[in-house]
Structure 1
Amino acid sequence: MTLILHITTRSHWQTAQQEGAYRPDSLETEGFIHCSTPAQVVGTANAYYHGQSGLVLLCIETDRVEPEIRYEAAHGESFPHLYGALNLEAMTQAIDFEPEADGNFTLPTALN
């Protein structure tokens, strides 16, 4: 099992549960869903979400993902991108992802 992660807001996650699939704005504007590996997600969170609360970390099992997954270069690393709506059956869990008091994120204990 290979695990990839996606950061989203709690409200976007709730919408996905009601609709039966996850379709963030990036799917429309860029054609894919940005994801990270467990080793990359803290860096991504600190770069793009520093100090933001109300976030959820979607844990995705790649073997269950229906759309194509491509690992593509960005910022000197290879990041997983999903080229289609995320089917919720690929999710293993959604973890509340809140920053520390200084605004920085750490990997949730459930993923250590």
Structure 2
Amino acid sequence: MLIYKIFRADEWAAFESQGETLGAPIDLSDGFIHFSTAEQAAETAAKHFADATDLMLLAYSADTLGEALKWEVSRGNALFPHLYRPLKLSEMLWVKPLPLVDGIHQFPADLA
């Protein structure tokens, strides 16, 4: 199963140059890295990144993140993937821009 992380361009640039990250400011304050499933990603973008034009969408296989990935109840009583260790660039499957068009983030058509 693929899970997704949304970063702002500056967060992505820092991650790309360092090879690993403890996440965005919200991740640091919560003590884990927030991910979303394909079904959750659009709502996550709308709720936490409204009007952001510089976003990048990263895809990871949940299976490769190991036991540090926990599925926990969050928004709407849904289970969300949370990573309790640094995120490694080498584990990423792909990264794509997440453009904002007419106030809606445009996710890749093949998001699965």
What TM bracket, shorter-length normalisation? 0.7 to 0.9
Q: In the alignment, residue 49 of structure 1 is paired with which amino acid? A: F
How far off its partner does 1:27 sit?
Answer: 3.8
| Unmatched segments (≥5 aa) in structure 2 | none
Q: In the alignment, residue 53 of structure 2 is paired with which amino acid? A: S
The residue that corresponds to 1:23 in the other structure is 22
Q: How does 1:49-60 map to 2 (within 5 A)?
A: 49-60=49-60
Residue 84 of structure 2 corresponds to residue 83 of structure 1: yes
SS at match of 1:36: coil
8 Å CA contact 1:32–1:82 kept in 2: the answer is: yes
Q: Mean Cα displacement is larger for which, 67-76 or 20-29?
A: 20-29
Q: What fraction of aligned residue pairs are identical, expressed as a percent?
A: 28
Per the normalisation by structure 1, the TM-score is 0.87
Compare the two structures and name the one with the higher helix fraction.
Answer: 2
Distance in 2 (alpha carbons) for counterparts of 1:108 and 1:54: 15
RMSD between aligned residues: 1.6
Change (3 A) 1:67 1:57: farther
Moved over 3 A (4+): none
Q: How many residues are matched?
A: 110
Per the normalisation by structure 2, the TM-score is 0.87
| Unmatched segments (≥5 aa) in structure 1 | none
